[in-house]
Amino acid sequence: MKLYRNLNKIKSLNSSVVSIGMFDGVHVGHLSVINRVIEIARENNSKSIIITFRNSPSSYFSKEDIDLQITNTNEKIDLFKSTPLDYLFVIEFNEYIANLNPSTFITDILMSYFKVNYIVFGYDNHFGKNREGTYEYINQNFKNIKAELIVASKENKLTISSTRIKQEILNGNLLNANKLLGRNYNLNGKVVKGLQLGRKLGFPTANINYTNQGKVIPKNGVYSTKTIINEKEYLSVTNIGIKPSVQDSNMVSIETHILDFNESIYDQSISILFIDRIRNEIKFNNLNDLIDQITNDIKKVRELKCL
């Protein structure tokens, strides 16, 4: 797969099959669109192309509202790299793109640079100013371009969408979110020093700096997780919350106790893969009760046999 960050950086192609969208999460529903783009391109000896955005169009139009994402740009690129896609364009959603009418987008970009002959649409896919570029628009105005609309993928009769997955994560329903994603949801971050209270209790934790990543944070609570350190997976117990038993603060932290691991990893980047939420965050009356609960949490995570 070749990666570009500017639409006009590529030399003109002979023919192509294109889909355009945010593709946040590159989830099971998105994969049905991506795989169809690749399939049609192979059938027609064309190049398969996805055009996506570095920043959220929703955040662009609503500067005050941050549209938290399931995947950041680098994660999204890595997920596309795992497919046999020919070209991925990750571009800035800016004033030019926002005001580009679909006709100009097709003629000046898709036809001029990519010689597009096929456009694949997801069930709620639009492009161009005022979201006017639709499956119907192509059929009505560009007879030389074929368009295909992919039926929405469903789980339990509900449409698989980034919005639905975000809500599942926010509600702590990681089993559901992971099923819709087709993989475990992850948070990455550099390990930073915390209060080091876990170490004093006999359960050292790695605290990650997750700020400014723009990703959805699961509901406060305790989770069974896997932690990846230097490409090796470890079973872990992760707490998201304010740690009410040991501090008086509303600041949310993410800290993971890595089982069968006893190395210093400060300033290293780790990845936490969320498997299931095992309980709410609780304020205990004393530290002995907290220690007993953490011991039970670890036992439960081991019994789940997540590895």
Residue 138: give the domain boundaries.
Answer: 2-159
pLDDT at 194: 73
Task: State the pLDDT confidence band at 9, using cuts at 50, 70 and 90.
Answer: confident
Residues 14 and 155 in one domain: yes
Please report whether residue 27 resides in a domain: yes
Residues 139 and 193 in one domain: no
pLDDT in tens, 83-106: 999 999 999 999 999 899 999 999
How many angstroms separate the CA atoms of 232 and 161, rounded? Answer: 31
- Res. 211: pLDDT tops 80: no
Q: At 100, which CATH number?
A: 3.40.50.620
- Res. 48: pLDDT tops 90: yes
**Overall domain count for the chain:** 2
Q: Are 297 and 221 in contact (CB under 8 A)?
A: no
Please report whether residue 166 resides in a domain: no
Q: At 233, which CATH number?
A: 2.40.30.30
Q: Averaged over 221-238, what is the pLDDT? A: 96
Higher model confidence: residue 25 or residue 60?
Answer: 25
- In this structure, of 38-42, 244-248, 250-254, the range with the lowest mean pLDDT score is 244-248
pLDDT at 64: 67
